[in-house]
């Protein structure tokens, strides 16, 4: 570790976490802090579960939930960079069975920006498993239909969008790999993320911190091994491209490698664009609209080349209006945030 931070401030942070643990807010935490891209502090505090018998380690393996979406996004960006997809391409052109009605106008841009109009689905319904990709995909094709015209409003689609993107990445892949193979060979291996996987790989199980949602999430996340109400997060062969990845805090904190070594050149440029946040607005969300200026990413064949100019605007919440210069990559930015993994 080369970067230097104030030991006094780090002690304050550690004391605050220890206080939270003592109050029962969570069981423990692994915290990594970096400065100017250089790692500066890594600490494991507390335990992995309510029993207090297993201390957390700096290399504890966590289910990283929606950070998984960032890796799925990368698969789409790579496919675009290789000329296999275009951001303006309709999803139904790649996945014909995902057609009919408003769904036929959904593009990959809509999926990436959560503006597809597809429903906010967290599970497939009571008693249904979510760990096998083929089953989840088939259910989404059958059940998920647009609730509003694509591009009209932003609605977080926690499951549907990234299942569709993962399936699209799989279908255009010349090698016809599975989603797990794609994520492993195109993201984790090139980055040296040896402790990361889609599903709890066998060699990581002994270090995996089993998620305890403590009743805060009403939905269940069932896996075919029937480990429990959230057993899908313990499945070795789970293939959930929206929430199913596992990793360690040191690996997730190493964001520069992700931007410089795996993301296409034009995606790296997106991180340099500024987010301009206007003052709070009381305009109802239902009245907000979003538009995609095609001059931002004109299609060249099946490739997309960024050019200067053009602004895409979308309403994110009833109380916020955010202008995004060029294409926003919302989930991908999650990798660049300071990493804190909490247990319980």
Count the domains in the chain: 2
Whether residue 245 contacts residue 196, with contact meaning beta carbons closer than 8 Å, is answered with yes
pLDDT in tens, 54-112: 999 999 999 999 989 989 999 999 999 899 999 999 999 999 999 999 999 999 999 99
Residue 197 confidence (pLDDT)? 95
308 or 171, greater pLDDT: 171
What is the C-alpha separation between 344 and 341, in angstroms, rounded?
A: 10
Residues 15, 134, single domain; the answer is: no
Q: Which H or E run contains 35?
A: strand 28-35
Residues 52, 65, single domain; the answer is: no
Per cent of the chain over pLDDT 70 is 72
Residues 70, 162, single domain; the answer is: yes
What is the C-alpha separation between 135 and 180, in angstroms, rounded?
A: 15
Whether residue 71 contacts residue 245, with contact meaning beta carbons closer than 8 Å, is answered with yes
Residues 35, 170, single domain; the answer is: no
Per cent of the chain over pLDDT 90 is 54
pLDDT band at 344 (very low <50, low <70, confident <90, very high): low
- Structural domain that includes position 149: 61-263+330-335
Residues 149, 50, single domain; the answer is: no
Residue 125 confidence (pLDDT)? 86
Residue 308 confidence (pLDDT)? 30
Residue 260 confidence (pLDDT)? 53
Examine residue 204 and state whether it is found in any structural domain, yes or no.
Answer: yes
Whether residue 74 contacts residue 332, with contact meaning beta carbons closer than 8 Å, is answered with yes
Last residue of a domain, one of 40, 58, 76: 58
Residue 166 confidence (pLDDT)? 98
pLDDT in tens, 293-321: 323 332 322 333 333 332 222 222 222 22
Examine residue 192 and state whether it is found in any structural domain, yes or no.
Answer: yes
30 or 276, greater pLDDT: 30
Would you call 45 helix, strand, or coil by DSSP? Answer: strand
Residues 116, 13, single domain; the answer is: no
What is the C-alpha separation between 43 and 280, in angstroms, rounded?
A: 37
Last residue of a domain, one of 27, 42, 58: 58
Residues 32, 132, single domain; the answer is: no
Most confident of 24-28, 248-252, 260-264, 302-306: 24-28
For the whole model, what pTM was predicted? 0.77
Q: Which two tokens stand for residue 325?
A: 């210069």
């Amino acid at each position: 570790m080369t970067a230097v931070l104030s030991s006094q401030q780090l002690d304050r942070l550690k004391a605050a976490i220890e206080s939270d643990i003592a109050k029962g807010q969570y069981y423990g935490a692994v915290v990594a802090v970096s400065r100017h891209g250089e790692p500066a502090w890594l600490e494991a505090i507390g335990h992995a579960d309510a029993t207090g018998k297993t201390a957390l380690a700096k290399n504890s393996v966590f289910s990283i939930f929606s950070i998984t979406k960032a890796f799925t996004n990368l698969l789409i960006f790579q496919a675009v960079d290789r000329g296999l997809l275009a951001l303006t391409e309709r999803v139904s052109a790649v996945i014909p069975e995902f057609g009919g009605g408003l769904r036929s106008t959904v593009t990959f841009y809509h999926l990436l920006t959560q503006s597809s109009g597809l429903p906010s689905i967290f599970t497939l319904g009571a008693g249904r498993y979510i760990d096998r990709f083929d089953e989840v995909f088939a259910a989404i094709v059958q059940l998920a239909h647009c609730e509003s015209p694509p591009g009209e409003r932003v609605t977080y689609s926690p499951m549907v969008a990234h299942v569709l993107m993962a399936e699209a990445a799989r279908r255009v892949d010349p090698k016809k790999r599975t989603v797990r193979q794609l994520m492993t060979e195109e993201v984790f291996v090139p980055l040296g993320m040896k402790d990361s996987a889609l599903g709890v790989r066998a060699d990581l199980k002994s270090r995996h911190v089993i998620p305890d949602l403590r009743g805060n999430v009403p939905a269940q996340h069932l896996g075919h091994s029937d480990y429990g109400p959230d057993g899908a997060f313990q499945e070795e062969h789970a293939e959930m491209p929206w929430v199913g990845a596992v990793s360690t805090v040191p690996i997730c904190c190493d964001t520069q490698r992700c931007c410089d070594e795996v993301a296409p050149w034009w995606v790296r440029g997106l991180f340099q664009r500024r987010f301009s946040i206007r003052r709070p607005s009381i305009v109802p969300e239902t009245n907000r609209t979003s538009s995609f200026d095609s001059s931002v990413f004109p299609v060249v064949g099946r490739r997309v080349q960024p050019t200067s100019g053009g602004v895409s605007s979308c309403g994110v919440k009833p109380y916020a209006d955010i202008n995004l210069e060029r294409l926003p990559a919302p989930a991908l930015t999650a990798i660049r945030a300071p990493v804190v993994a909490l247990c319980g």
